[in-house]
Amino acid sequence: KVCNLLGNMCRYSAYFYEPLLKHGLIQELISRCRDPDHNARKFACFAIGNSGFHNDVLYPYLKDSIPALIELLSDPEEKTRANASGALGNLLRNSGLLAPELLKYGA
């Protein structure tokens, strides 16, 4: 539920990007991408995607999510696959900073 909350907090503006970083929540979201619970994975992807939607400020910190997001493109849950795909797209939305990393992992 916390991943869903964080995703919604970042959905409409970048206002919460700095607090996410300050409190170490980016790394926690990345860890939830490999959680055994399918809802945690689904909403972690949602939150990571929204953390990269409005600008590229968090891109350097979201870089570590790329391998997990690519793995989740094969998740059994359709919505998790969709959220992972959207998150990967958002990691290119505002700059090409992460393009080499995405190519490195075959995205």
pLDDT averaged over consecutive 10-residue blocks of the chain (107 residues)? 94 95 96 97 98 96 97 97 98 96 90
Instruction: Report pLDDT for 47.
Output: 98
What pLDDT is attached to residue 97?
96
**3-state SS, residue 9:** helix
CA angle 74, 90, 66 (to 5 degrees): 45
